[in-house]
């Protein structure tokens, strides 16, 4: 570190006095002391020889503790070295020096400053020292207010050297009364891009900055008004076009200037480039619109709550929920006005705790809401603190209907649970894989197992164990039930005491997504025993019927033979009376034979259990029969299954036979179907192109008494179909062909 020279010689002091005298001649100490920026003066040797009040306040020292000392005597060593180095650079290159730095004020606060220094000379042009200004750019935005408060001193500021004004970090320009530029500082150059050499003494700059004539004329009017009225302009914003074509927004403070006689001498304008600030403000406005749109369209009632419980912002959903409009609520109502008294205390507690520790208070809970008409609504509340504030944002969802539905479901569940527990039939709940989840008391009584013993197993675990009734057999049937969503079958099961019982199982899938279903178990052991006994009796009766029918047919054959012999007798051939009587006997014998043959089919009706039959396959079988080869058959039923008596194929046969016997001109037969709009029933349709059936006999053809014309076929068909609840009717138009409709209920048909 370079040593400071010893105390000044008397010659130096004399020189200092001369310097001070010169400075005082240029700037009065009074003016300097009224300048808010710190100003200091050093001689050629770096010794402080002057300064203003702001400078001494900046150092926190009295003038006598500064004057006559070097920087090494008043500043920390590292800082002093920086200042000393900068001073030497300026002395070596006289002129102006400007650099930024950070300083610590006496109150320990850190400020960003700009050091503006310049050398000064004596009358002979010799460098005598440095005068410096410290500009605190931290308070740059307050310069406008400072200028306003001290406008009476503006005329004094105009007398400062150009380099003093040139150090300002804001755009400063001075105009004369004609609008010509008299001062154009460095900041003006930097912001606009126009050098002072291009604008001083001219007013063309205003055409460059404001190329739009209409816009420029508006600004000229404002400028002229300042000169005429002396009214200051503050924060007047204009958009300028810079030299590079870029547009910037400048905020102006402008004042009228007067000379020493009080006459208007021009105007001074200070401008701050607020382009970035405007962009930020615009972004904030867009952001506000964005978040307000989200706030308004969250889909639920949403509010902003102040710390004092006031509702400061509400959306339209909250208006609908409360019955008030937003102007009645915002800033006027507390959320406590919308809470039933019973819930209020706890919610107040949550409100306070949330602001002390947001983890303590719940973020979601239910409460009861009071609207404008004092209606109570169940609400699910979601609430949280807005970061960095004491405000909260809350979302309210009306769950009144859901609560009612839950209560209704609870009642329904209790009702069905009671039905489940007290049903005489066994009921069990299954997974989609047939695993037992629950079983009622009737199942336990039927199989002699507890619920816990059955849970986790399939019903296949309780089958009889015979090859045809193994667990695998049951599981295959259950798989079929899953495919069709319902099933009905019988199986033998073994009780816990080893007794084998026969059960009827009806199962149905309740929820395919969750994979749950239920089944009904009914002990049909006694019923099946009775049925088997009845079947045995029926078989014996059928055997007797077959023997009797065979004997009767034999006798009828003999009778027919005798009738033919009588008809061949030459003596009797010409006796009309005997011939008439013989014909009557012959007709009676034929009638007896027909009825005997009918009993053969009718005795099998309902004897065997119904099953599923492919309608289309049966039609294809008969359409290939040579007896019906004269018909062109159209079959659209190959993917239709119906649940019917085993004699169902007789129904299809009778339709073909009826067409052959009575259709006369039939060449085409069509089988089709229609499904009802509600998908509850399916209509199987037979149509032909024959004569059709007269309207007065459409119902008679299904009666047994009408067999003389149609035989027993259609009567038998209706009886066969009725066993499984299937209906048949004739709906065709006479002379347009016959049309038979077979109506099959939902549970008795399937589509492949």
Element at 670 (helix H, strand E)? strand 668-675
Query: Is 699 exposed, middle or buried (CB count within 10 Å of its CB: 0-12, 13-18, 19+)?
Result: exposed
> pLDDT digit string (tens) for 40-97?
899 999 899 988 888 888 888 888 989 999 988 887 888 888 888 988 998 899 989 8
pLDDT of residue 712: 64
How would you class 693 by CB atoms within 10 Å of its CB: exposed for 0-12, middle for 13-18, buried for 19 or more? buried
Calculate what percentage of the chain has a pLDDT beyond 90: 25
Q: What is the DSSP pairing of strand 668-675 with strand 632-635? A: parallel
Q: Which tokens belong to 55?
A: 């400078």
Cα–Cα dist 731/741, whole Å: 7
In this prediction the pTM is: 0.35
Whether residue 565 is predicted with pLDDT greater than 50 in this model: the reply is yes
State yes or no: pLDDT of 527 exceeds 90.
no
Number of H helices, E strands in the chain: 26, 28
- Closest residue by Cα to residue 58 from 125, 115, 140, 15: 115
Of 730, 649, 722, 717, nearest in space to 691 by CA: 730
Amino acid 707: pLDDT: 45
Written in H, E and C, the secondary structure of 202-234 is CCCHHHHHCCCHHHHHHHHHHHHHHHHHCCCEE
Query: What is the CATH class of 611-751?
Result: alpha beta
Q: Looking at residue 594, what is its pLDDT? A: 64
Return d(Cα 749, Cα 505) in angstroms, integer.
19
CATH, range 301-403: 3.30.450.20
- What strands, in cross-sheet order, belong to the sheet with 181-184? 181-184, 171-175, 264-273, 247-258, 233-241
Per residue in 674-724, pLDDT (tens digit) is 998 887 899 999 999 988 888 888 888 887 655 444 456 788 888 889 888
Length of the chain: 752
List, in sequence order, the alpha helices (H) in 255-389: 275-296, 316-322, 326-329, 341-356
Taking the C-alpha atoms of residue 654 and residue 658, their distance in angstroms, rounded to an integer, is 6
Say yes or no to pLDDT of 469 above 70. Answer: no
How far apart (Å, rounded) are the C-alpha atoms in residues 63 and 81?
A: 22
Handedness of CA 44, 49, 53, 59 (dihedral sign): positive
| pLDDT higher than threshold 90 for residue 536 | no
10-139 CATH: 3.30.450.20
Q: Which CATH architecture has domain 423-523?
A: 2-Layer Sandwich (3.30)
Which percentage of the chain shows pLDDT scores above 70? 80
Superfamily classification of domain 170-280: PAS domain (3.30.450.20)
Give me the sheet containing 500-511, strands edge to edge.
436-439, 426-431, 516-523, 500-511, 486-494
- For residues 431 and 517, give the distance between their C-alpha atoms in angstroms, rounded to a whole number: 6
pLDDT score of 698: 86
Dist. CA 740–CA 657, nearest whole Å: 14
């Amino acid at each position: 570190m370079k040593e400071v020279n010893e105390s000044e010689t008397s010659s130096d002091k004399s020189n200092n006095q001369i310097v001070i005298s010169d400075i005082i001649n240029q700037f009065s100490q009074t003016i300097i002391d009224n300048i808010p920026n710190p100003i200091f003066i050093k001689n050629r040797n770096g010794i402080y020889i002057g300064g203003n009040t702001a400078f001494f306040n900046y150092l926190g020292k009295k003038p006598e503790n500064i004057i006559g000392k070097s920087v090494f005597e008043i500043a920390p060593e590292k800082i002093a070295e920086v200042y000393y180095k900068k001073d030497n650079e300026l002395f070596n290159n006289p002129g102006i020096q400007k650099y930024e730095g950070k300083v610590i004020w006496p109150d320990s606060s850190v400020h960003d400053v700009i050091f503006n220094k310049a050398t000064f000379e004596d009358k002979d042009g010799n460098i005598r020292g440095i005068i410096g200004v410290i500009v605190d750019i931290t308070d740059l935005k307050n310069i406008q207010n400072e200028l306003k408060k001290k406008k009476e001193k503006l005329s004094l500021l105009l007398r400062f050297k150009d380099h003093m004004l040139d150090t300002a970090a804001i755009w400063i320009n001075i105009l004369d009364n004609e609008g010509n530029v008299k001062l154009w500082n460095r900041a003006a150059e930097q912001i606009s891009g126009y050098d002072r050499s291009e604008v001083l003494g001219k007013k063309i700059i205003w055409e460059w900055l404001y190329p739009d004539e209409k816009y420029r004329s508006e600004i000229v009017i404002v400028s002229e008004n300042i000169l005429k009225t002396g009214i200051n302009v503050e924060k007047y914003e204009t958009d300028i076009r810079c030299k590079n074509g870029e547009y910037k927004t400048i905020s102006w403070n402008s004042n009228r200037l007067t000379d020493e006689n009080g006459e208007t001498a021009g105007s001074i304008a200070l401008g701050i480039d607020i382009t970035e600030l405007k962009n930020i403000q615009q972004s904030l406005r867009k952001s506000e619109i964005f978040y307000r749109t989200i706030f308004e369209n969250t889909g639920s009632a949403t509010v902003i709550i102040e710390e004092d419980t006031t509702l400061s912002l509400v959306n339209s959903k909250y208006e609908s929920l409360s019955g008030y409009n937003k102007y009645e609520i915002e800033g006027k109502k507390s959320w406590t006005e919308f809470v039933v008294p019973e819930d209020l205390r706890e919610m107040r507690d949550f409100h306070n705790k949330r602001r002390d520790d947001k983890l303590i208070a719940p973020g979601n809970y239910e409460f009861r809401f009071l609207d404008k008409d004092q209606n109570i609504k169940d609400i699910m509340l979601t609430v949280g603190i807005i970061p960095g504030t004491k405000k909260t944002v809350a979302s309210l969802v009306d769950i009144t209907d859901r609560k009612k539905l839950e209560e209704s479901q609870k009642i329904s569940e209790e009702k069905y649970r009671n039905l489940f527990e007290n049903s005489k039939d066994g009921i069990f709940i299954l997974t989609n894989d047939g695993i037992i989840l629950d079983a009622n008391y009737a199942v336990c009584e039927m199989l002699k197992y507890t619920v816990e013993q059955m849970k986790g197993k399939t019903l296949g675990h309780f089958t009889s164990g015979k090859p045809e009734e193994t667990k695998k057999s049951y599981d295959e049937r259950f798989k079929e039930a899953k495919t069709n969503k319902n099933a009905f079958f019988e199986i033998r099961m073994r009780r816990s005491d080893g007794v084998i019982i026969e059960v009827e199982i009806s199962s149905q899938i309740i929820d395919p997504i969750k994979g749950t279903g239920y089944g009904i178990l009914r002990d049909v052991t006694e019923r099946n025993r009775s049925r088997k006994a009845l079947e045995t009796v029926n078989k014996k009766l059928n055997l007797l019927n077959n023997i009797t029918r065979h004997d009767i047919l034999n006798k009828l054959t003999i009778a027919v033979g005798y009738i033919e012999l009588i008809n061949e007798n030459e003596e009797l051939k010409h006796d009309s009376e005997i011939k008439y009587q013989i014909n009557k006997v012959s007709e009676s014998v034929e009638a007896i034979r027909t009825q005997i043959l009918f009993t053969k089919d009718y005795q099998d009706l309902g004897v065997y259990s119904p099953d599923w039959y492919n309608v289309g396959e049966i039609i294809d079988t008969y359409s290939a029969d040579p007896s019906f080869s004269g018909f062109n058959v159209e079959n659209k039923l190959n993917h239709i299954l119906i649940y019917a008596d085993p004699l169902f194929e007789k129904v299809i046969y009778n339709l073909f036979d009826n067409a052959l016997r009575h259709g006369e001109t039939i060449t085409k037969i069509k089988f089709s179907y229609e499904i009802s709009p509600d998908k509850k029933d399916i209509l199987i349709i037979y149509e032909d192109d024959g004569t059709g059936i007269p309207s007065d006999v459409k119902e008679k053809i299904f009666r047994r008494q009408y067999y003389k014309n149609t035989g027993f076929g259609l009567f038998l068909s209706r009886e066969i179909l009725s066993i499984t609840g299937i209906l048949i009717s004739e709906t065709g138009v006479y002379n347009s062909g016959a049309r038979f409709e077979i109506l099959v209920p939902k549970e008795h048909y399937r589509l492949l």
